Structure 1
């Protein structure tokens, strides 16, 4: 197939204007994350105006929570300081975009902007005199809404869902450009579905502070939504449960899983449900890999059926893989798939994790649509287990995350934590997209994610 020269491809776009806004949302109940209780979210919205080589103009929209507790953890900076750094970073990224005049496909533009965003993050760190520089993961989270707006605009200007625009008729360079010679002659569309999966099982989050039953319920939220695990299972018909664990107290973690399994088993038995699944999330707090292998071994001894229900384990130890070469996951991965999450920021980190025994990868829209597409391709070619997680994304950011999950082969389930912790942020979207925001049978109706741009976000 003859590929049109990048300099003359008429479908290319460039940015012409960018506007940003931040909104705050209080959580109905707090979630304990990495040892910290979080009770609110700040969401970054980005609207871009783009133009094609032919002069057609279009607006694109992207949105993502500024999850500083997750993307910028710090022992020397407090919550307000890291959040301020991220808000400052978003403003700086808007200025970078205003001065970015290159034409291209959104993947090409997104990856080129990522380089400039990383340089801008270093500048902001110096200007704010931060005692800890802004991490790469934090930079990706801030940049993801800008990247999403580009993909959204590109699809809309061509009247296509963005997952129809990742082949050689639109993308100027093959995957070999970014992933190496093994991918030469391959295009991103080979690793995504043109049409979304119609329905996907929903992973419900069980936070470390969430009451499992009435004995743990100290104060009902009083808003008509469930408070305990059995209530949630009945309310949404759940059969996939993600269990947040402490990672620094093996007895507590093991007993937490065992109680989740007991409470869930009793409820599912009453409902006549025979099959369900768990994922285990330690938020990288395990001191060493032996903690994980011991915990899994004890779980298998104490509750064999509960052990069998564990589908995968999210990154158990610290995200800086190079500083912890001893924490290799080969033995743990013989028990269950072990997924790289916080560490995954590029191809180099994916390959390092694989060498260290990780057998799966967690894709997240908050790391950028462009980067996620590359990681989806690389992980599939390497035969790794894949999942998509949503960072408690509300509104448009959930639609973006759900679209990623629904279009990547091999991703078996989807996350939607905002319905639990900040449902008020979804109200404006729920009436128009009920399949995404209203769960009745343990699954999300993702068939609607086929509209122009990122799927269901209004033109």
Structure 2
């Protein structure tokens, strides 16, 4: 099948407030509430009209970590990126492939956002959200699922048909342990008493978890203590686990990172945890990460890029400096993930990891999960289900529609509300292989607040 050729006739933007059931602390930020953005697009293909949709949480202090900005200012940066993307995608009436729209309108929107002062990572947010929605509409027009559409080359990108696209039935969930998370049931701290796990210990027992993402503060004494306590919990529960460590840009330079890692290695109680560690994610601040080499540092696991992935050449720059992988995140763009997967396929020493932007139940978590899993990612960080109660503030009818359309991916548990279904540390992906981009349900658009 040849690439689809389409015209974008409508782009609508919305948001919905999200309140977290537990505070999520990463780096220097603690998040308790933020909006989720939604895009609804209409495309014209062969004289017929098709709709596509996407969603992404507008997480503060990740796209721009400047301490001088409030959370609300971070949200407005992302709204600005969305508006610029909408205007750019609607500025042309030309018929072209989804990838050509992304390269033309998406790059134009990025340029406008950067010119107006947005950091590139925030500037990418709007085009990335619209790329997902356009892909969804394109797949519906073709009558194909995500995996079949990629294999057929309907998006028109240069990578899909050269990749070994998989149709995964399951993926391992890698559970996030935030810096404010309680580890044991007897540890004092927040407990919403909503019938869901509120500690690492209870989450392991409920979901059978065996893969974990551990947030680092970059403060060696605090991290030594916390990592030691985490390792003790995992050992006590008899978990044969694997872990990844997330630096969240907390290190100012390679020298301080090297000293930090040597201290971890010298800690006998952490020997087993480090042996089970699979990778270290974005330890250096993005201002220096692509300027300083880490090749000579004594870090015995692959170090990967995440926040520094704000332009197409970032991965190659990182490889030259000693990095050995990069994250897949739909908020950075589906085409960025495809390009990274293609580069990694040429070198078995490299890895693509699946990381989370606290993806919410519904479109966001379904599309992001399938994107990474279809590219061969076997364990993926998921934490939206842990920090938010199911579908959050979405109407019950919306939650029930998604749960009915994606039985196996969601389940109605003892709380009486639909939640992500996690069994033996895995998520069932079979229901995501449906026409369109991973979803057979849609938000109740009238329940959302328009972004003008």
Instruction: Using structure 1 for the length normalisation, give the TM-score.
Output: 0.86
Report what 1:180 is aligned to. Answer: none
Quick one: distance in 2 between partners of 1:197 and 1:263? 31
- TM-superposed deviation, 1:333: 6.9
Q: Does 1:314 align with 2:255?
A: no
Aligned-partner SS, 1:146: helix
Preserved CA contact (<8 Å) 1:122 1:134: yes
Q: Does 1:453 align with 2:423?
A: no
Preserved CA contact (<8 Å) 2:176 2:213: yes
Preserved CA contact (<8 Å) 1:33 1:70: no
Task: Out of 337-346 and 104-113, give the one that drifted further.
Answer: 104-113
Question: What does 1:251-270 correspond to in 2, within 5 Å?
Answer: 251-267=221-237, 269=238
CA 1:315–1:321 in structure 2 vs 1: closer, same or farther (change >3 Å)?
Answer: same
CA 1:329–1:209 in structure 2 vs 1: closer, same or farther (change >3 Å)?
Answer: same
Q: Which runs of 5+ in 1 are unaligned?
A: 126-132, 176-186
Preserved CA contact (<8 Å) 1:21 1:45: yes
Quick one: distance in 2 between partners of 1:367 and 1:375? 11
Quick one: distance in 1 between partners of 2:326 and 2:150? 21
Query: What RMSD, in angstroms, separates the aligned Cα atoms of the two structures?
Result: 2.2
- TM-superposed deviation, 1:387: 0.5
Report what 1:94 is aligned to. Answer: 86
Q: Does 1:21 align with 2:14?
A: yes
Question: Given the alignment, which residue of 106, 109, 114 partners 1:117?
Answer: 109
Preserved CA contact (<8 Å) 2:153 2:161: no
Deviation per CA, 1:234-255, whole angstroms, max 9, x where unpaired?
Answer: 01100001111101x1111122
Report what 1:361 is aligned to. Answer: 326
Report what 2:243 is aligned to. Answer: 278
Preserved CA contact (<8 Å) 2:207 2:422: yes
Q: Does 1:415 align with 2:381?
A: yes
Question: Given the alignment, which residue of 135, 144, 153 partners 1:160?
Answer: 144
Q: Does 1:57 align with 2:49?
A: yes
Report what 1:435 is aligned to. Answer: 408
Report what 1:244 is aligned to. Answer: 215
Task: Out of 96-105 and 232-241, give the one that drifted further.
Answer: 96-105
Preserved CA contact (<8 Å) 1:197 1:406: yes
Question: What does 1:285-300 correspond to in 2, within 5 Å?
Answer: 285-300=250-265
Aligned-partner SS, 1:202: strand
Q: Which runs of 5+ in 2 are unaligned?
A: 410-419, 443-452
Quick one: distance in 2 between partners of 1:352 and 1:239? 33
Preserved CA contact (<8 Å) 1:299 1:306: no
Deviation per CA, 1:344-379, whole angstroms, max 9, x where unpaired?
Answer: 123311111111100111110111112221222123
CA 1:224–1:109 in structure 2 vs 1: closer, same or farther (change >3 Å)?
Answer: same
CA 1:217–1:402 in structure 2 vs 1: closer, same or farther (change >3 Å)?
Answer: same
Deviation per CA, 1:19-69, whole angstroms, max 9, x where unpaired?
Answer: 1111111000111122111111211111111011x2121001111112232
- TM-superposed deviation, 1:167: 5.2
CA 1:246–1:211 in structure 2 vs 1: closer, same or farther (change >3 Å)?
Answer: same
Report what 2:313 is aligned to. Answer: 348
Instruction: Give 4+ residue runs of structure 1 displaced > 6 Å after superposition.
Output: none
- TM-superposed deviation, 1:139: 1.4
Report what 2:359 is aligned to. Answer: 393
Quick one: distance in 2 between partners of 1:433 and 1:166? 21
Deviation per CA, 1:213-238, whole angstroms, max 9, x where unpaired?
Answer: 24532242111111221111001100
Quick one: distance in 2 between partners of 1:358 and 1:258? 26
CA 1:325–1:371 in structure 2 vs 1: closer, same or farther (change >3 Å)?
Answer: closer
Preserved CA contact (<8 Å) 1:281 1:314: yes
What is the count of residue pairs matched by the alignment?
A: 421
CA 1:120–1:87 in structure 2 vs 1: closer, same or farther (change >3 Å)?
Answer: same
Task: Out of 295-304 and 111-120, give the one that drifted further.
Answer: 295-304
Question: Given the alignment, which residue of 137, 142, 165 partners 2:121?
Answer: 137
Quick one: distance in 2 between partners of 1:59 and 1:90? 18
Quick one: distance in 2 between partners of 1:121 and 1:385? 31
Report what 2:98 is aligned to. Answer: 106
Instruction: Using structure 2 for the length normalisation, give the TM-score.
Output: 0.87
- TM-superposed deviation, 1:265: 1.0
- TM-superposed deviation, 1:438: 1.2
Question: Given the alignment, which residue of 288, 304, 307 partners 2:271?
Answer: 304
Aligned-partner SS, 1:95: helix
Report what 2:193 is aligned to. Answer: 222
Aligned-partner SS, 1:331: coil
Aligned-partner SS, 1:15: strand
Aligned-partner SS, 1:27: strand
Report what 2:161 is aligned to. Answer: 189
Preserved CA contact (<8 Å) 1:24 1:40: yes
Question: Given the alignment, which residue of 191, 197, 206 partners 2:177?
Answer: 206
